[in-house]
Amino acid sequence: MNPILVALDVPDGAEAVALASRLAPFVGGFKVGLELLMGEGPDVIRRVGAFGPPVFADAKLHDIPNTVGAAARQLAQAGARWVTVHGAGGLEMIESAVAGLRDGSDGGAGVLVVTVLTSLDGAQLRETGVGRSLEAQVVAMTALAADGGAEGVVCSVLEARAVKSAVPSMKVVTPGIRASNAAPDDQKRMATVTEALEAGADMVVVGRAITAARDVIAAARAMAVEAGQPIPPPSERSENREGGF
């Protein structure tokens, strides 16, 4: 599978669908985050998923188990292949999300547990009352995710190797993927595609490095090549228009 998931962190569904239509031949899936889900509703998952690659609903659910299970079911029915929940919600909440996704997708969807947000560093984690190191907290959340039946976890590339060592069967999704010469923006623990895959990531979430590029197809193609993926020849590629959509 192509490991690149493009984060469609854009303001409206029309822009997200336009991006998905152009990028689908070059990527392994799309991430629909809170901005789109709140603005467009779950139907945007169907619209983006119509182009073929699976959709990762980054809802970061965190509530009482019954509510999370019901929300996960709704997202699965909308076509989400993966749904994120916060590990801090506990084992019962993760189990409820897993059950909700199973019911809503006939078993075809999986939970990804958010371990520690990549916007946090060690000092900020301590401010939340967590005394463990970042790596220790990520590993602890991974063990909880495994116990709850989750398919994988979301963590930074810096913890990916430790996660794979602790629970080899867990899929590891790493956000914060940037081009080598890009600014870090609001994520403190970031890496290139190559660094993430070498550290054990199964999938990488790429946002502005592709979606804010002058030539989005060229950027996606370069990421796919870096990930060792076969690329459609020019005659099979979507028309690329620099700038807008």
Q: Domain containing 177 — which CATH number?
A: 3.20.20.70
What is the C-alpha separation between 10 and 214, in angstroms, rounded? Answer: 15
Domain of 26, in residue numbers: 4-236
Helix, strand or coil, per DSSP, at residue 119: coil
pLDDT at 185 (0 to 100): 53
121 vs 44, higher pLDDT: 44
Say if residue 78's pLDDT is above 50.
Answer: yes
Whether 165 is in a domain gets the answer yes
Q: Please say if 171 is a catalytic residue.
A: no
Catalytic, out of 31, 60, 164, 171:
60
Say if residue 240's pLDDT is above 70.
Answer: no
Counting the structural domains of the chain, the total is 1
What does pLDDT average to over the chain? Answer: 90
Whether 245 is in a domain gets the answer no
Say if residue 44's pLDDT is above 50.
Answer: yes
Whether 221 is in a domain gets the answer yes
72 vs 121, higher pLDDT: 72
Residue type at position 49: G
pLDDT at 238 (0 to 100): 43
Nearest to 86 by CA among 61, 67, 69, 110: 61
Say if residue 161's pLDDT is above 90.
Answer: yes
Whether 241 is in a domain gets the answer no
Whether 12 is in a domain gets the answer yes
Whether 167 is in a domain gets the answer yes
Whether 243 is in a domain gets the answer no
Helix, strand or coil, per DSSP, at residue 164: helix
pLDDT at 147 (0 to 100): 98
DSSP-assigned letter for residue 64 = -
Whether 242 is in a domain gets the answer no
Say if residue 64's pLDDT is above 70.
Answer: yes
